[in-house]
Amino acid sequence: MRALIQRVERASVEVDGSEVGSCGEGYLVLLGVGPNDDENVTRRMWEKVRKLRICADENGRTNLSLVDVGGSLLVVSQFTLYADARHGNRPSFTNAAPAELANRLYELFCELAEKDLGPGRVGRGEFGAHMRVGLINDGPFTVMLDSEELGL
């Protein structure tokens, strides 16, 4: 599983011109699922994201987590995080999980976030749809987490 996390002032996602999800101050998480990922990896990745200390404290240092600052979250499924461009100029996406598995684990990640952060604090994209994502990046501050590299 891969999570590209952007600290944002706000973010939103549209499908067919209508907003389907948004968040205020917090994180935009682009979430990619790999073929070997499972519920355990998903839970551990959420815990890592939840505890990640990339929010500023009263001294401007990145010492606080999303939970510490009462932030919100927008989670967007992003299979292209598994792009393989080693050969040629057209990326291959065969390293991404099949749609059924990816959707199930994406939904689980969102449910875990909703359970921990509370109602109304987790926005979602629409799995498999063509989406337009807008954000005001705070910093900018972007972090890439890979479950294999983290040993999750």
What is the SS3 assignment for 152?
Answer: coil
Q: Specify the pTM.
A: 0.95
Q: What is the pLDDT of residues 63-76, one digit of tens each?
A: 999 999 999 999 99
Can you give the pLDDT at residue 119? 87
Are 102 and 53 in contact by the 8 Å Cβ rule? The answer is: no
For a pLDDT cut of 70, what percent of the chain falls above it?
100
Asked if residue 125 has pLDDT above 90, the reply is yes
Can you give the pLDDT at residue 85? 93
Active site residue 79: yes
- Compute the distance between CA of residue 99 and CA of residue 38 in angstroms, rounded to an integer: 13
Catalytic pick among 78, 109, 127, 142: 78
Q: What is the mean pLDDT of the chain?
A: 96
Can you give the pLDDT at residue 152? 85
Asked if residue 78 has pLDDT above 90, the reply is yes
Active site residue 6: no
Helix (H) or strand (E) holding 22: strand 18-23
- Compute the distance between CA of residue 28 and CA of residue 117 in angstroms, rounded to an integer: 14
Catalytic pick among 6, 42, 62, 79: 79
Active site residue 109: no
Which domains does the chain possess?
A: 2-147 (3.50.80.10)
Catalytic pick among 6, 42, 62, 80: 80
Q: What is the DSSP letter of 84?
A: B
Give the tokens for residue 113: 């976030």
Q: What is the pLDDT of residues 9-33, one digit of tens each?
A: 999 999 999 999 999 999 999 999 9
Confidence band, pLDDT 50/70/90 cuts, at residue 40: very high
- Compute the distance between CA of residue 6 and CA of residue 75 in angstroms, rounded to an integer: 11
Q: What is the DSSP letter of 67?
A: H
Query: Across residues 80-101, what is the average pLDDT?
Result: 94
